[in-house]
Structure 1
Amino acid sequence: MHKDFAVHVVDDDPGVRESIKTLVSTAGFRVYSYSSGTAFLERCQSARGCALVDLRLGDMTGIELQKSLIARQASVDVILVSAFGDIGRAVEAMRLGAVDFIEKPFDPDLMLDKLGKLARTNDISHQLQRDARQHAALIDTLTPREKQVMRGIVEGRANKQVAGDLGISARTVETHRVHIMQKMQADSLAHLVRLWLVSARQQPEQELPAVS
């Protein structure tokens, strides 16, 4: 039924891991399971579909794993799963681009419904939305000053103009630009601008601080 959509279960509890795997595979999904975040990261570059990630793994938190997936631009959607009703973590996970946050014990039908909706989503539009979420999450790692410099960059200002607007030196602006491109994983200025435009198009609420 869902042969082209894979579900990756990342949980350090073998009982929970096998329970979810049985539920999801019975519903027709291809399922892969991992006992740690590290194990999943070793093959995340080739992974597709959705990752059901426990919030509290033995080797890292689900949030840390999510950040690593963003940094690697992995083509998977993330659903965080937790036995602890941590609203703060839920908000952070969603801000980083998680498609959902599910509390244990979860309703099996609700879980399968969420996976089914993801599996039926148009591949191209869904990829654009996922890329936008990842780009927005990377933008969120910038400092307030770096965001101001990036605002100047995407508005087409030269380094001296941005420096004048912010009351800093052009050399400092250039240093910020280098850091911004590293954090955004951009290999050129044009690439950096495209990343911002894609993020802004898909997530219009994204805003950067003004430079003046």
Structure 2
Amino acid sequence: MGFAVHVIDDDPSVRESLKALLGDAGYDVRCYACAETFLEQSGGSEGCALIDLRLESMDGLTLQQRLIAEQSNVDVIMMSAYGQIGDAVTAMRRGAIDFIEKPFAPDQMLARIRSLYKIQDKEELAQREARHCAALVELLTPRERQVLSMIVDGFANKQVANALGISARTVETHRVHIMQKLSAESLPHLVRIWISAGHHLEMPAF
């Protein structure tokens, strides 16, 4: 499926205004009244998702985390009428492209969508991949990130266990959970995710 703009907002007037604005600009606009409907109907799509932070049932941040866990190709722009800086930071740390306050200026919204649609530069594509990998790693607990950091550095399970004061069996359990959360197919794949995340991460303390 090609580039689409997904609007996830429980306010019909917002959905209608964005559909008119972006549709007139030539974009394929698809609207959803809730996160659950979006997840059911948007599989395999590329493009971006304009997500309202204060969705009922499943809120915007929870939906964003689901997309990260499913390794979705959709870029996220979070929308909110509340403008809470804490939520903005959380959304951005999880890889959101932008955080836009309502009411937004039509020109601002169009400019942001155009910039996403025209991404072709390899360096910027690499940055997008890095942000995605960093967002995946953010799903790990602090202990899992410690274990992952040491595994990538070449430590064996027993060495990790001794350094962290836990059993080798616990390390192996953490390792299994890490592979599952990051959808890593192998140790080399795990290493690539960690390296790609790079400077977007805060390194775990030991």
TM-score range, shorter chain: over 0.9
Relative distance call for 1:17 and 1:205 in structure 2 (3 A) is closer
**How far 1:197 sits from its partner (Å)?**
1.5
Match of 2:21 in 1: 23
1:79 matched to 2:73: no
Identity %: 58
**How far 1:9 sits from its partner (Å)?**
0.8
Match of 1:5 in 2: 3
Match of 1:182 in 2: 180
Cα separation, 2, equivalents of 1:208 and 1:194: 16
RMSD across aligned positions (CA)? 1.7
Match of 1:59 in 2: 57
1:139 matched to 2:134: no
The AA in structure 2 aligned to 1:55 is L
> Over residues 112-152 of structure 1, what are the superposed CA-to-partner deviations in whole Å (9 max), with x where a residue is unaligned?
01111111111755554333222212211222221111111
Contact 2:3/2:45, CA 8 A, preserved across alignment = no
Match of 2:161 in 1: 163
Match of 2:120 in 1: 122
**How far 1:158 sits from its partner (Å)?**
0.8
Contact 1:8/1:52, CA 8 A, preserved across alignment = yes
The AA in structure 1 aligned to 2:70 is R
Match of 2:171 in 1: 173
The alignment's TM-score, normalised by the length of structure 2, stands at 0.92
Cα separation, 1, equivalents of 2:120 and 2:38: 25
> Over residues 17-58 of structure 1, what are the superposed CA-to-partner deviations in whole Å (9 max), with x where a residue is unaligned?
011110011112111111111111113322111111111112
Match of 2:36 in 1: 38
> Over residues 48-80 of structure 1, what are the superposed CA-to-partner deviations in whole Å (9 max), with x where a residue is unaligned?
111111111122111111111111111110101
Cα separation, 1, equivalents of 2:10 and 2:150: 45
- Structure 1 residue aligned with 2:45, among 44, 47, 50? 47
Name the SS of the counterpart of 2:43 in structure 1: helix
Cα separation, 2, equivalents of 1:170 and 1:12: 48
Match of 2:195 in 1: 197
Structure 2 unaligned runs (5+)? none
How many residue pairs get aligned? The number is 205
Structure 1 unaligned runs (5+)? none
**How far 1:83 sits from its partner (Å)?**
1.1
The alignment's TM-score, normalised by the length of structure 1, stands at 0.90
> Over residues 170-206 of structure 1, what are the superposed CA-to-partner deviations in whole Å (9 max), with x where a residue is unaligned?
1121111111112212122222112112211xxx242
Match of 1:70 in 2: 68
Contact 1:8/1:33, CA 8 A, preserved across alignment = yes
Cα separation, 2, equivalents of 1:100 and 1:61: 17
Relative distance call for 1:63 and 1:173 in structure 2 (3 A) is same
Contact 1:44/1:69, CA 8 A, preserved across alignment = no
Match of 1:102 in 2: 100
Cα separation, 2, equivalents of 1:36 and 1:144: 31
